[in-house]
Amino acid sequence: MPIDLPIWPPAWPAIEAAALATIRSGDWGSYRSAACQRLRSELAEAFAAEHARLCCSGTAAVELALRAAGVGPGDEVILAAYDYPGNFRCVELLGARPVLVDLAPESPTLAPDHLPEAASENVKAVIASHLFGQAADVARIRHHCDQRGWIFVEDACQTPGMLIDGRPAGSFGHLATLSFGGSKPLTAGSGGALLTSDRRMAARLGPLLERPSDAFPLGPLQAAVVSPQLKRLDRMNEQRRDTARFLAAELSGQTPQWQLLARDSAGVAPAFYKLAWCARSAEQRVRVVERASELGLPIGPGFRSSHRASRRRCRQPLPLERSRRLGDTLFVLDQTALLVAEPQRRELAALLQQLHDETSRLDDEISP
Ligand SMILES: *Cc1c(COP(=O)(O)O)cnc(C)c1O
C-alpha cells in the first residue's frame, strides 16, 4: 500500500481567499500592488531585515545579489563545489570566476576553514547555502568576509524560518536570498526575494530592479498567495522537523548503509525542505531512487557537484573530496513526506527501512 502523501502546493482556504481578494480588489492588475507591498514588509519583519525586495526566482535573487555586490568580469566568487548548481552558473554569467571550496565535516554546507586558503585579491563575494535543513556556519563565514571586505551572500532558499542562535537564517549575510519555487516551503510556483540590512546593498538593488518598471517582477497574485504561507511557516517547519526527528530516532542504528545528514547543532532550530542521506556508493543511490519510486516514496538524487568543472572555468585551491562524495551518493526525501500526518510517521519509517534493506542486500551481492 503506497503511503498517503499530502498534496503540494497546499490547498488551504487561506490561499484561495488571498488570491480571490487580490482579484476582486483589482490589485492583481496593478503595477503598484498592495499585495507586493504587504509581502515585502511581512518578509522584512519575519527575517529581521531592513529591506526586502521581491523578484521572479531564487536564481534571479542570487544573480541580483552578486550584481549588487559589484561582481563582474575578472572578479572571483567563493562557493562550495556542492551547492545548488545555479549558483555556479550565476557567477559565470556575470563574467566572474567561481572559486570552489569543500564542505564542512558531516555537513552539506561550505567549510569556513577553507576561506583563507581560497582568498585572492580578486575575490569579491562568498555564496553559502543552507541545505537540507542544515545551517551553514554563517557567523564564521560573515566574520571572514568582514575581515577581508568580501560580500557574503547567504542563500536561504531552502530554509525560510530556520533560526540560528535565535536569529533567522537570511539575517547573517550582507544579502540573503529566498525562493518561492514550486517545491519550496514557501511557494508561488515561481518567485524569490532578496533581504538586506546593508544600506549600500539596498541602494544598489534599487536601480537594478526599477528600470523604471520592475525588471524581475513577482506578480501581485503570486505575492498574495505567499503571505498566508508565511503566517503558517513556523507551524509547518515544526511539523517537518518533528517528522525528521522521528525518522532519525526510529531508524537510528537500523540503516547502517546510509548516513543521515541531520546533525543537531547547538543553537540551531532547523527548517527542513528535504531530508538528506548519503548512500554507501553511487550505484546504491541509483537503486535507492529507483526502488523508492516503486514504493511511492518521494526520493530523488541531490545536486551534482561542480568539482568536475574544468580548471578553465573555476579555481580549485583545495581538495573537494566531500563535495565529490555528496554529489555521487546523496539522496533526498521531499518535504511532502515530512508533512505526513502524525499517525503515518511510523509507516513512513517502515518504508524507508524496507528501502534500505532491499537496496542494501543487492549492494552486498554486487560487492561483497
Ligand atoms: C531552489 C534553490 C535556489 C533557486 O531557486 P529558484 O526559485 O528555483 O530559482 C537557489 N538556491 C538553493 C539552495 C535552492 O534550493
pLDDT tens for 300-336 read 999 999 999 999 999 999 999 999 999 999 999 999 9
**Contact of 27 with 220, CB cutoff 8 Å:** yes
129-142: per-residue pLDDT in tens? 999 999 999 999 99
112-121: per-residue pLDDT in tens? 999 999 999 9
What is the band of 3 on the pLDDT scale with cuts at 50, 70, 90?
A: confident
Which ligand 1 atom is at minimum distance from the Cα of 184? 1
Mean pLDDT value of segment 4-8: 92
Mean pLDDT value of segment 201-225: 97
Share of the chain above pLDDT 70, in %: 98
Ligand 1 neighbour 302 (Cβ under 6 A): no
Q: Which three cell numbers mark 301?
A: 538524487
**Contact of 171 with 48, CB cutoff 8 Å:** yes
Tell me the C-alpha to C-alpha distance, in Å, between residue 259 and each of 64, 250, 325, 329. 35, 14, 12, 10
pLDDT tops 90 at residue 162:
yes
pLDDT tops 90 at residue 245:
yes
95-109: per-residue pLDDT in tens? 999 999 999 999 999
What is the band of 1 on the pLDDT scale with cuts at 50, 70, 90?
A: low
Q: What's the whole-number average pLDDT of the chain?
A: 96
pLDDT tops 90 at residue 232:
yes
pLDDT tops 90 at residue 340:
yes
Closest-CA residue, ligand 1 atom 5, reads: 58
Tell me the C-alpha to C-alpha distance, in Å, between residue 68 and each of 196, 206, 326. 11, 9, 31
What is the band of 364 on the pLDDT scale with cuts at 50, 70, 90?
A: low
174-201: per-residue pLDDT in tens? 999 999 999 999 999 999 999 999 999 9
Closest-CA residue, ligand 1 atom 3, reads: 58
Cα–Cα dist 184/186, whole Å: 5
pLDDT tops 90 at residue 33:
yes
Classify residue 207 as exposed, middle or buried by CB count within 10 Å of its CB (0-12, 13-18, 19+). exposed
Mean pLDDT value of segment 56-85: 98
Cα–Cα dist 275/161, whole Å: 16
Q: What is the pLDDT of residue 218?
A: 98
Ligand 1 neighbour 134 (Cβ under 6 A): no
Ligand 1 neighbour 57 (Cβ under 6 A): yes
Ligand 1 neighbour 58 (Cβ under 6 A): yes
pLDDT tops 80 at residue 363:
no
Share of the chain above pLDDT 90, in %: 95
Ligand 1 neighbour 181 (Cβ under 6 A): yes
Ligand 1 neighbour 243 (Cβ under 6 A): no
3-state secondary structure of 250: helix
CB atoms within 10 A of CB 34: 16
What is the band of 202 on the pLDDT scale with cuts at 50, 70, 90?
A: very high
Cα–Cα dist 312/152, whole Å: 24
Which of 63, 66, 109, 155 best tests ligand 1's pocket when mutated (most atoms within 8 Å of CB)?
A: 155
Which ligand 1 atom is at minimum distance from the Cα of 180? 7
Q: What is the pLDDT of residue 265?
A: 87
Q: What is the pTM of this model?
A: 0.97
Mean pLDDT value of segment 288-306: 97
Strand duo 274-278 + 268-269: pairing:
unpaired
CA of 35 from ligand 1 middle (Å) equals 23
Q: What is the pLDDT of residue 2?
A: 75
CA of 187 from ligand 1 middle (Å) equals 11
CA of 87 from ligand 1 middle (Å) equals 9
Ligand 1 neighbour 179 (Cβ under 6 A): yes
Degrees to nearest 5, angle at CA 181 with 176 and 185:
80
Nearest alpha-carbon partner for 127 in 270, 260, 314: 314
Q: Which three cell numbers mark 187?
A: 511557494
Nearest alpha-carbon partner for 175 in 55, 13, 312: 55
Which of 82, 109, 184, 304 best tests ligand 1's pocket when mutated (most atoms within 8 Å of CB)?
A: 184
**Contact of 233 with 23, CB cutoff 8 Å:** no
Q: What is the pLDDT of residue 109?
A: 98
What is the band of 263 on the pLDDT scale with cuts at 50, 70, 90?
A: confident
Which of 82, 138, 158, 222 best tests ligand 1's pocket when mutated (most atoms within 8 Å of CB)?
A: 158
Q: What is the pLDDT of residue 368?
A: 40
